[in-house]
Structure 1
């Protein structure tokens, strides 16, 4: 049994020659596997590259398709479109913009804004856009109206093109507002004709009632006098409304004539403020007129128009201030301008309504609840009068705490 175990445990002997042959076969197998691995890797890399190329081509096709789609939209857009690059070279103009401006794309594309200003049919727009230095695109949004030619009015909107916080150019949109302007013109003409037709009989009523009140046609009882006085005041309100409407139509038609003369602004304001003594007394308002300690520089103004502007501001301050409230008038004289200020402790202007304060017929909901009478034309007229004198008007307000209106006029000294 022992001899059998020894026989089973006996190791197989390998000669050197056999060992070399086995080693050679193993090497061939290993190298074969290595060759197959490299070939597979190359194949995988080739497939991956093909996939990338296919994806790139697909992305390119999508980009081209989107670009063509965008260009089609721009070409058929209902507004005129122009695109300037960051150096103010015209990169794009659509057919409607060509039609509006009376130009051909081939003649103006890639031209700088400075060159375009020399193109006769283009100069009106360029003059409007030329509010920024050459080489610097507009950095904020603005809107203007452009009367380009007879019976064509365009609203110009300019926006910055910003990518990754960098300004890449300017987009200009030309919107045709001719229809709206024509409708507005017809409305203005209708109001003007109606106001003129109404003013004549109202004036006749005014003077007839005045004659009766003054006793020119005989004695009247106290009861009759009271009724006539109320009628007279109602008629006066109608006349004031008609005058407001006429002022607005004259402003819009450019027919509000100005006769500027040198004057002291503080004297004009003082004379206007004196007209409100009774109302100030009735409402027990703490009224302060801070007259300058020395004469202010003179301003060149149409005194009647400035009186109207000041009257509107003081009237609003008193009208929309509660009884026993405060109204204060003061002046400042910074560099080459005189600044007028009227401050009240009234109802104030709601924040979400403030941007409309100088528009026609606007009255805040809080003031309508407080004072039902009013046209909403006073501040619109005032703004136009101040700006016609090369001045500016602005305000600060907080609902429930009061409002401060300012205007500044250039001095002549």
Structure 2
């Protein structure tokens, strides 16, 4: 408490005045909104023998429902909200009761079966008979460790921001400061001039700085933010400065992105970091910024292991599959002797299965190239009319074989020209058209057209096929994901086509989106700038539906 009070006194006089009185409550609410841990303030209930039998949620922070799935939890007993909790997790009653009476802080992991979640919990006592539980959903971390042991696969952690109960101003300040000290992620608060006002214990541990050493100093000077090439990010592009000059919350790299930001420690070493930064406003007046940051070194190591494993597996599969294809073709040509009609049928089936495997390996290798940044963009100028001929050559026969009528009217756009990577652009359009053909019934039509905008050309591919279920549309660009009706309509498929399209679109600076209705068809759109700002590094697609 003494150390936290000293920290706040070292802030500037004007800033301190803003946080006085009722505004202090609002200030801490904003801080808890940015927390990446869950929080609940509870009263313990004991029986006549002083055995803990229940607890009441007095206050929870605003994202409590997101993390636990419990709605309207305040003023309710846990046994009402989670029937069966006493049977599934008797240790919670024992630990919470012990802490609320004895006052000794405890930290533990537990699996809450009714919620199907693993939680990492820190619990302490603000006053006798009461406790504050700070918890993280570590289900993904548990799954990630299992995936690493079983298949070298990674999973990202999901942490939610929550809010704390407040019953009196003095108690609120003391308890809130204790909460900030106990959250697992680093947290820094800076004023409008980026001067550090607060740095929590986790931030001290990650960066090697003590809070007293950085208070009042410019955060940009204390902790250098660098890119993956070791170059310092300019001030105007730094997260805190961008938040102070824009109106949105800014979040940096995710665990699937290799083009990370790095924070520099006091000793000069650096670590990959995920950062979320938000404005702090009281009664509409901007007073500063809060940034929550997390070391993602472990996630990056797991992701590298996964990529190395997929790359090795794909390359090792390609050689025997090519050999198998050669042997099958040799037998089909009769080089090893005449084959019967039945044998030919079996050979054809084996050949088709082998071709699907070859395509899967090819798609996987392409994804690896695009994700790692090995595939470079080559800018060329091309007219939409010339693109018509190339796309028609690749898709006309597929449409004919499926009995689908393809209407390609790109040839009508004689003067529209774009500067982009032609191979990547053509690959995106071919994927859209191939999907439209494959998921349409015989006799249906597929349309490919484009329209010109002042600074871009917008291509669209429309079909009247099976469509995409509304509840699955948000996942359609995920790696290996296929909608339920697509798997039923066409069982063989890799689920990599649209994911690869999203990578290619980001590479050439294009935007993709779609509209779809089940059993009525889908329209995919591709907006390509006439002048492309290429991205020749590793990428992480973010697609809006």
TM-score, normalising length from structure 2?
Answer: 0.57
Contact kept in structure 2, 1:160 and 1:167, CA below 8 Å: yes
Check if 1:253 corresponds to 2:372.
Answer: yes
1:190-221 deviation digits (Å, cap 9, x = unpaired): 11101100100101111222233344555444
Check if 1:193 corresponds to 2:193.
Answer: no
Aligned residue in 2 for 1:328: 447
Contact kept in structure 2, 1:88 and 1:136, CA below 8 Å: no
Residue 400 of structure 1 and its aligned partner are, at CA, apart by 3.2
After superposition, the Cα gap between the structure-2 partners of 1:64 and 1:185, relative to the gap in structure 1 and judged at 3 Å, is same
Mapping of residues 68-217 of structure 1, within 5 Å: 68-85=174-191, 90-101=196-207, 103-106=209-212, 108-110=214-216, 115-119=218-222, 121-122=224-225, 127-129=237-239, 132=242, 135-136=244-245, 138-140=247-249, 142-145=251-254, 146-148=260-262, 152-161=271-280, 169-217=288-336
Quote the Cα distance in structure 1 between the aligned partners of 2:343 and 2:387: 38
Contact kept in structure 2, 1:326 and 1:345, CA below 8 Å: yes
Aligned residue in 1 for 2:456: 337
Aligned residue in 2 for 1:362: 481
Quote the Cα distance in structure 2 between the aligned partners of 1:356 and 1:290: 30
Residue 391 of structure 1 and its aligned partner are, at CA, apart by 2.0
Q: Secondary structure of the equivalent of 1:70?
A: helix
Quote the Cα distance in structure 1 between the aligned partners of 2:320 and 2:519: 41
Larger Rg: 1
Further displaced range: 238-247 or 337-346: 337-346
Aligned residue in 1 for 2:124: none
Quote the Cα distance in structure 2 between the aligned partners of 1:410 and 1:98: 45
Q: Secondary structure of the equivalent of 2:450?
A: strand
Further displaced range: 236-245 or 226-235: 226-235
1:322-364 deviation digits (Å, cap 9, x = unpaired): 3333321111221232222111222222333323222211112
Candidates 494, 501, 509, aligned match of 1:382:
501
After superposition, the Cα gap between the structure-2 partners of 1:83 and 1:359, relative to the gap in structure 1 and judged at 3 Å, is farther
Q: Secondary structure of the equivalent of 1:360?
A: coil
After superposition, the Cα gap between the structure-2 partners of 1:128 and 1:222, relative to the gap in structure 1 and judged at 3 Å, is farther
Aligned residue in 1 for 2:153: none
Residue 265 of structure 1 and its aligned partner are, at CA, apart by 4.8
Aligned residue in 2 for 1:288: 407
Aligned residue in 1 for 2:536: none
Further displaced range: 270-279 or 248-257: 270-279
Aligned residue in 1 for 2:472: 353
Aligned residue in 2 for 1:235: 354
Further displaced range: 354-363 or 376-385: 354-363
Contact kept in structure 2, 1:144 and 1:157, CA below 8 Å: no
- In structure 1, stretches of 5+ residues that fail to align are 1-59
Contact kept in structure 1, 2:225 and 2:261, CA below 8 Å: no
Quote the Cα distance in structure 2 between the aligned partners of 1:90 and 1:84: 4
Higher helix share: 1
Aligned residue in 2 for 1:267: 386
Residue 106 of structure 1 and its aligned partner are, at CA, apart by 4.1
1:50-91 deviation digits (Å, cap 9, x = unpaired): xxxxxxxxxx99312221211111122101112345676544
1:361-401 deviation digits (Å, cap 9, x = unpaired): 11122222222222211111111112111222222223333
Aligned residues: 349
Aligned residue in 1 for 2:514: 395
After superposition, the Cα gap between the structure-2 partners of 1:120 and 1:203, relative to the gap in structure 1 and judged at 3 Å, is same
Contact kept in structure 1, 2:469 and 2:517, CA below 8 Å: yes
Quote the Cα distance in structure 2 between the aligned partners of 1:87 and 1:276: 58
Candidates 413, 424, 432, aligned match of 1:313:
432
Quote the Cα distance in structure 2 between the aligned partners of 1:65 and 1:164: 23
Contact kept in structure 2, 1:273 and 1:311, CA below 8 Å: no
After superposition, the Cα gap between the structure-2 partners of 1:214 and 1:165, relative to the gap in structure 1 and judged at 3 Å, is farther
Residue 412 of structure 1 and its aligned partner are, at CA, apart by 4.6
Q: Secondary structure of the equivalent of 1:117?
A: helix
